[in-house]
Amino acid sequence: MFRPLTRAPDHPALELEILEWWEERGIFAKLREQNADGPIFSFVDGPVTANRMVLGVHTAWGRTLKDVFQRYKALRGYHQRYQNGFDCQGLWIEVGVERELGLNSKREIEEYGLAEFARRCRDVVVRSSRALTEGSIRLGQWMDWGNDYFTFSDTNIEYIWRFLGLVHERGWLYLGHRSTEWCPRCGTSLSQHELTQAGVYQERSDPSLYVRFPLLDRTEESLVVWTTTPWTLPANVAAAVKPDAEYGRRESGEWVATARYPDERFDRRALGEELVGLRYRGPFDDLGPGSEVDHRVIPWEDVSLEEGTGIVHIAPGAGQEDFELGRLHDLPVLSPVDEAGRFYDSYGWLHGLSTSEAADQIVGRLAEQGYLLEAGAYLHRYPHCWRCDTPLIWRVTDDWLISVEEVRQSLLDANATVEWIPAYMGKRMDDWLRNMGDWNISRRRYYGLPLPFYPCACGQLNVVRSKAELLERASGPVDDLPELRRPWIDAIRIRCEACERDVERIPEVGDVWLDAGIVPFSTLGWKNPEYEPEGYATGAAKGLTAADLPDHAYWERWFPADWVSEMREQIRLWFYSQLFMSVALTGRAPFRKVLGYEKMLDEKGREMHSSWGNTIDAPDAFARMGADVMRWQFCAQPPDRNLLFGFGPAIEIKRKLLTLWNSVRFLVDYGNIAGFVPDYADLEAAPLGEDARPLDRWLVARTRAYLADATQALEDQLTHRLIEAFDEFVDDVSNWYIRRSRRRFWDEDEAAHQVLWHALVQGIRTIAPVLPFLAEHLWQIVVAEPCEDAPESVFLAGWPEAGEPDRALLAEIQEVRAIVALGHRARDGAGHKLRQPLRALVVEGAELALDHAGEIAEELRVKSVAFEPLAGTSVRAKPNLKLLGPRLGAKLPRLRDALAEGRFERLPDGRVRAEGHELQPEEVFVERAAPDGWALAEEGSLSVALDVRLDPELELEGRVYDLVHAVNTMRKEQGLAITDRIVLTLPDGGDLDRFLEWVKSETLAVEIEHGSELAVRKA
């Protein structure tokens, strides 16, 4: 006996039960044990930032894909690593703690104390990693929880030090003096790749100012510049013109590019090169720094004539291009603001103001002095800090950089060995590799990888490569170094290797992408001489994980990863930093295959923002739709398009899953009546006897074809193709096989039960990676419990082998189903419901379905089916008014009449000639029409005509079908079991007498009584 199924699955409840069952039975451990000697499939997890206290649905998407492919590979017998990773350092963590503590600047952090601040940061990681683990387990992700890697472990840090040592050895490391994007709130520069993250460029309104710079040697004349960053004006040192562009002088003496003002009159015109060298008074020469500058006009080819005035204000201390141009012309650099983006004291009345606070004052002062020509607002896309949303500024600073020039080609070569899915993401990586600048690795922050750089006055840059080396070279005793971290490490001074002087570490910490990029080395034991149990649990990671530090032989086995997967954004982030570090260390790519995917939006296609109230936390989704439904939603998504996630689509998915559920329930209910006991061996060899019926042979063929498609979809790493194939398969099982075979189940036909069981179980096995809970639940009911020798879990049963399907038979039934679908369409058009029998169907163009007239007749409830050319049809044409209206105008009505009256000629190329016009195929709708009393439907070369005329006999039969339907509905409403016999009460009158026996057999009535209204009661 099968355990009965409820009417519909309660996904959340069922999932919690299965989670507990897996845990009790140790199913995941058994699976790993079972595969321990299998071939290796190496997966490396990209770390999730441990700063949120709840799993987000974005994260759940990626985790689902990882889990689906790990489960699939496990079903195929692969030995795998299941190490989950947490990203634990950097601004994400720091900014969260600052908010919790109400700290608002770096000064406040330092006053708070770095040791305590570090403790709070670690505490965030501890709490977040617990919450994320809990959410991931609930999602159904099978990982080696408890052996996770944490990027703040000393081991991870030491591996990065080693990498930096090598980079230094090769001469790629340098201290750069340059202009860089800077977050004034976080007080640090950001790197190019950080600016590529989603949400960095936001629409923003800034002042739009037209400002006059008076020329020194030509009184009454001035240059007009345009700027949207008023705070940069006090740093102005030059004005740039395009040498070969024409400039004009207005009557007022103002110079602008003539191309920008084509309608204006100019009393003098000159080329830009004639203006070069002119000297002008700077707008803020009354403030200290500006007064010493000799402001002059310089040439610049790149001056834009698309916006502004064609004269560009240049402030090398406050703009990237300006800085480069300044180098070229040897211009002075005025740096007006400090790390916090506030004006230095030397800027007089501006001192202490932030760049935005200063804007108003600057505009006011310009107006007062008559320098301001026009002020407005300018809407543009402007970069913001990816972490704290503060608008960025440009500052000239000293940053540590890794030069990429020497390694660029090797990176491109390594990327060429990687298979990217979708392929365009690999091209994006190439573009990035070709165009990226040097890697800015230093951040002026606290909770991060301490850069092991100890510059010495003698010119030597000491780079420490390990904790042991640090302790050995320390110039004094080290008694307090719980972690390789600020503030403890800052107290350690070492001896310069060149001159023996004491030197100290630079205060900067490293870019977080170093932390994540080193993972394929630090977690796999690269160059580690001996396997160390729990050897990765060092520094801040101590007590949080029991992860081992394997030895180099282990690394050789597991590197490179066969597969990694993250969202597209990671091309320039994790995929890049991993690739860079791996190519530097080994010359090879760290992964063979990458599955990327696009962004998640809400179900209406909007970005998800907590301020808009449209974000969804995973626990909410677990409770309201269930993990399986979420996973289906993630997997149904082609990776090259944005996922529109929400509760709306979940309703549709539940409806689809109900079709599967109902099919299994049908098997369970009828199987129990028939006493059907499945045989596990039937899964291997399809359960077909010598004399198997065509429909059974078809279902076995259909199952095999589906298995082949499902396997291919997963091999191609395209889950949406698996979902589509599964959907169609379930529809075929439910809406073809079961519908066509009801009578046989009723008759307790063993073969029907066998092939249906076989099809459903194979379907369940293939969808198990996507729907682990539902699949496990159904496996228990239809396999593990009734079959003695079956594996206890669907995940211990391996992947089903697909035999070769009978393709000819499949094509045959496919055509039958196409004819039936057309028949339904024709019937719908005529307005007859399916219960109404009709006389005849004629099929034209069928080639394979000729032996299936009986099935087609039954499906469409027609009395005869003929395969022959349709007779008496005519061809009708109608104008496409949208196209022909504008083209023909007043001539249209005559053309329309001609088409309606059949006065047209069809040309061989699809065009139509009528009323002297030659019409393109898209300008006219040509369709065949059936003779009166017939309905016609066509698709491709297949056409059907359905006789839709009724006669009294047909109408009577229709009423009998209606009656049977009404009675069976009443049976269901009264909750009668499928096998319950009834007494049926029929209203008096009617002419149904000769159908009564048939009605009885269709409704399980043992007796018919006559009464005032239709009634059903249990006999």
- Please, which residue, 506 or 984, has the CB nearer to Zn ion? 506
What is the closest distance, in whole angstroms, from the C-beta atom of residue 666 to Zn ion in the complex? 59
Tracing tokens 């003698």 back to the chain, one arrives at: 458
What is the closest distance, in whole angstroms, from the C-beta atom of residue 194 to Zn ion in the complex? 10
From its phi and psi, is residue 558 left (phi > 0), alpha (psi between -120 and 50) or beta? alpha
What is the closest distance, in whole angstroms, from the C-beta atom of residue 334 to Zn ion in the complex? 24
The span from the CA of 656 to the CA of 774, in Å, is: 13
- Please, which residue, 320 or 390, has the CB nearer to Zn ion? 390
Contact residues for Zn ion, defined by CB under 5 A: 183, 185-186, 385, 388, 390, 456, 458, 460, 496, 498-499, 501
Q: Determine the distance from the C-alpha atom of residue 435 to the mean position of all C-alpha atoms in its chain, rounded to a whole number.
A: 25
- Please, which residue, 185 or 817, has the CB nearer to Zn ion? 185
- Please, which residue, 94 or 628, has the CB nearer to Zn ion? 94
From its phi and psi, is residue 24 left (phi > 0), alpha (psi between -120 and 50) or beta? alpha
What is the closest distance, in whole angstroms, from the C-beta atom of residue 735 to Zn ion in the complex? 56
The identity of residue 143, as a single letter, is: M
Q: Which residues lie below 8 Å from residue 682, measured CB to CB, with a gap of 6+?
A: 754, 757, 758
- Please, which residue, 503 or 999, has the CB nearer to Zn ion? 503
The span from the CA of 116 to the CA of 122, in Å, is: 10
What is the closest distance, in whole angstroms, from the C-beta atom of residue 383 to Zn ion in the complex? 11
What is the closest distance, in whole angstroms, from the C-beta atom of residue 339 to Zn ion in the complex? 12
Whether omega for the bond prior to residue 879 falls within 30 degrees of 0, making it cis, is no
Inter-CA distances, 506 with 183, 398, 455, 484, 531, Å? 20, 12, 8, 14, 33
The span from the CA of 343 to the CA of 749, in Å, is: 88
What is the closest distance, in whole angstroms, from the C-beta atom of residue 21 to Zn ion in the complex? 47
What is the closest distance, in whole angstroms, from the C-beta atom of residue 389 to Zn ion in the complex? 7
What is the closest distance, in whole angstroms, from the C-beta atom of residue 456 to Zn ion in the complex? 3
Other CB atoms within 10 Å distance of the CB of residue 802: 18
The span from the CA of 402 to the CA of 437, in Å, is: 9
- Please, which residue, 185 or 467, has the CB nearer to Zn ion? 185
Strand-strand pairing, 494-495 and 502-503: antiparallel
- Please, which residue, 53 or 498, has the CB nearer to Zn ion? 498
- Please, which residue, 101 or 601, has the CB nearer to Zn ion? 101
Q: Which of 264, 292, 575 is nearest to 433 (CA)?
A: 575
- Please, which residue, 156 or 189, has the CB nearer to Zn ion? 189
- Please, which residue, 49 or 153, has the CB nearer to Zn ion? 49
- Please, which residue, 296 or 501, has the CB nearer to Zn ion? 501
Other CB atoms within 10 Å distance of the CB of residue 590: 25
What is the closest distance, in whole angstroms, from the C-beta atom of residue 197 to Zn ion in the complex? 12
The span from the CA of 101 to the CA of 120, in Å, is: 9
- Please, which residue, 98 or 158, has the CB nearer to Zn ion? 98
What is the closest distance, in whole angstroms, from the C-beta atom of residue 185 to Zn ion in the complex? 4
Contact (CB, 8 A) for 173 and 400: yes
The span from the CA of 343 to the CA of 232, in Å, is: 11
- Please, which residue, 573 or 849, has the CB nearer to Zn ion? 573
- Please, which residue, 99 or 863, has the CB nearer to Zn ion? 99
Count, in order, helices (H) and strands (E) of the chain: 32, 41
The span from the CA of 160 to the CA of 848, in Å, is: 66
Inter-CA distances, 663 with 4, 181, 560, 753, 760, Å? 13, 60, 44, 12, 8
What is the closest distance, in whole angstroms, from the C-beta atom of residue 95 to Zn ion in the complex? 7
Burial class (CB in 10 A: 0-12, 13-18, 19+), 847: exposed
Contact (CB, 8 A) for 831 and 958: no
Q: Which residues lie below 8 Å from residue 871, measured CB to CB, with a gap of 6+?
A: 842, 931
Burial class (CB in 10 A: 0-12, 13-18, 19+), 78: middle
What is the closest distance, in whole angstroms, from the C-beta atom of residue 469 to Zn ion in the complex? 16
Element at 296 (helix H, strand E):
strand 296-299
- Please, which residue, 49 or 133, has the CB nearer to Zn ion? 49
Q: Which of 386, 378, 388, 390 is nearest to 204 (CA)?
A: 378
Inter-CA distances, 420 with 71, 341, 417, 571, Å? 21, 42, 10, 11
What is the closest distance, in whole angstroms, from the C-beta atom of residue 385 to Zn ion in the complex? 3
What is the closest distance, in whole angstroms, from the C-beta atom of residue 88 to Zn ion in the complex? 19
The span from the CA of 45 to the CA of 70, in Å, is: 11
- Please, which residue, 87 or 923, has the CB nearer to Zn ion? 87
The span from the CA of 846 to the CA of 862, in Å, is: 18
What is the closest distance, in whole angstroms, from the C-beta atom of residue 186 to Zn ion in the complex? 3
